[in-house]
Amino acid sequence: MPDPITDKLIRERQDLVTRAEGLKQTAFDQKQRDLTDTERSTLEEFSARIGRIDEQLKLTTRNYQLDEETSAAIARYSPAALVPDTFNYRSEGEALWDVLHMRDDDAARARLARVTAHERAAQHMGSTAAATTATAGGFDGIIVNPVLGPVVQMHPTTTPFLTLLGPRDFPAGKFLRPRLVDPDLLTAAGPHAGGLEKGELPSKKWDYAEDPVQITLIGNYINLSYEAISWVPSSLQMVIDHLRLRTALGLEAAAVAEADKTGNTITLAADADAAAAQAAVWDAMAQVFIATGQPATWMAAGPLGVSMLGGKTDLAGRPLFPFVGPSNALGTASNFAIVAPFGLQLAETPAITDTTLYVGNSAGLEAYVRYLPVLQADEPSVYGKQIGSAAAVGWFHPTTSEAGPGNTPPAEYNAIVKIAP
């Protein structure tokens, strides 16, 4: 095989021969004169150098390869001995052959163990330089990465408990909610006095009270740059939609907080058995009826509370709180399709984060909500736009036990029953 020293010596020898022939031709062309002293000296130097080169070429071109018999003998003794310490494959085919025979050929295994990186001088082009092998260019400057599909929303997008309450609009400002106060309602009507005709009938008074509904504001705002508005399609509408969603979820959390103000609580451990869970729910339904004179109609729970209820089974292994339409199977599932005893409608809300349950009816809590228009204000100093979303909300939970003289005992609000661990 060619080597760099031999190649250099051959090129130098050829150059010296060419120069020597040139000197001789010059003397011949000039009236075939004799060589000058300088020309003779130069040719002598060329000849001496060519002689030294020839001596070196005898060494560098000598065949150092083992003959076939000796190579075969060494291969039988130690196949790896014929593989140099550093080894490079000349082609992919050579490398593939060794990979295929590495299990049954010691020399192939030795070459694979000693191979250095197979380097190529080629440089590369890829979609982007960073995503391509080293020494590469890319189309980074002209690639357009499109956005496909809607924005992934891994957060709540509905307000099930607030929807269950049926929020109503209200006039601007504060307002009053009237209510009937009749402590003798169940005993006010009765027979003639003494059971005699013309005997006096019972006569009991009642009152109409009024409670103010306090209005509060729930909302949020954000500052948006004009660069985002101008360069990102639909960015302004996306921001407005998300601000409104935040406001709605703030209302949902506030509704649960109002329900939590009830003074009627039943304790139920999260790991209670089915009998205890059923007893707690029925007890809560009874307390709602006693407080409001109307049956309970709904139950509110978080995902942990729904999981707790869904895991309760009777002695036959059937769900204690089944889906709609079951006989001895789960039935059909859909939104709000799980029912509690006595047909309570279940609202599963993200605003309840533990196993607490709330049982009530339409008299337990009233919601008054007015969604305010989105406000936008330009901000020249920062070249942006400030955007706000808010809703005015008021809550009314009627008193179920009137306060005594001097507010002793204080009034009670027990229209919603809380079942808590």
Q: List, for residues 328-360, the tens digit of each pLDDT value.
A: 444 444 444 455 556 788 899 999 999 999 999
pLDDT for position 83: 53
Give the mean pLDDT of the chain: 82
- List pLDDT tens digits, range 288-340: 999 998 999 999 999 999 888 888 877 777 777 665 555 544 444 444 445 55
pLDDT for position 336: 43
What number of CA atoms fall less than 13 Å from residue 203's CA on the CB side?
Answer: 3
Buried b (16+ CB within 10 A) or exposed e, 40-65: eeebeebeeeeeebeeeeeeeeeeee
- Beta strands 357-360 and 298-301, pairing class: antiparallel
Residue 66 has pLDDT above 90, yes or no: no
pLDDT for position 329: 47
- 275 — pLDDT class (breaks 50, 70, 90): confident
pLDDT for position 69: 64
Q: Are 415 and 263 in contact (CB under 8 A)?
A: no
Mean pLDDT of 260-282: 89
Could you give the CA distance from residue 189 to residue 194 in angstroms, rounded to a whole number? Answer: 14
Q: Could you tell me the end-to-end alpha-carbon distance of the chain, in angstroms, rounded to an integer?
A: 88
Residue 56 has pLDDT above 90, yes or no: no
When mean pLDDT is compared across 23-27, 210-214, 261-265, the lowest value belongs to 23-27
Mean pLDDT of 260-285: 90
**Greatest mean pLDDT among 134-143, 150-159, 248-257:** 248-257
Mean pLDDT of 230-240: 89
Q: Is 291 exposed, middle or buried (0-12, 13-18, 19+ CB in 10 A)?
A: buried
pLDDT for position 194: 84
Mean pLDDT of 200-206: 89
pLDDT for position 75: 54
So where are the chain's domains?
A: 4-60, 68-114, 159-174+214-421
pLDDT for position 331: 47
Q: Which amino acid is at 147?
A: V
pLDDT for position 328: 47
- Beta strands 298-301 and 344-348, pairing class: parallel
Higher per-residue confidence, 276 vs 402? 276
Could you give the CA distance from residue 339 to residue 332 in angstroms, rounded to a whole number? Answer: 11
- 74 — pLDDT class (breaks 50, 70, 90): low
- 280 — pLDDT class (breaks 50, 70, 90): very high
